[in-house]
Amino acid sequence: MESILCIPRMDVITSKQYILSTFYKLKWGHISLVNEIPLRNDPTHKRIIIRVKWDDCSHDIRSRIHDGGSIKLVHDINSPWFWKIMLCN
């Protein structure tokens, strides 16, 4: 099963490579697309679109996201910030 996920708001200084490596570490499945979209009214932030083909072992996370929920991912243990990951509309 394939899904398109969204991180609605992220700093523009966060690199695409960092995002991709963070998702590979999660081992949710195969990442086929990471797209960065600048926010219209805020030049310091961007939106991230991610296409993932889920592995069988990530069933709980996939179910939570597809049931209208979201995941808060702490991507850096030394930082209090997190990414909110949800299904893209």
Question: Cβ neighbours of residue 16 under 8 Å, at least 6 residues apart?
Answer: 34, 36
Q: What's the mean pLDDT in 52-78?
A: 88
Enclosing H/E stretch for 24 = helix 16-26
Q: How many domains does the chain have?
A: 1
pLDDT in tens, 13-50: 999 999 999 999 999 999 999 999 999 999 999 999 99
| pLDDT higher than threshold 80 for residue 89 | no
**Confidence band, pLDDT 50/70/90 cuts, at residue 69:** confident
- Give the pLDDT of residue 13: 94
Segments forming the whole domain that contains residue 43: 2-87
CA separation for the pair 58, 54 (Å, rounded): 7
Report the CATH number at residue 74.
3.30.70
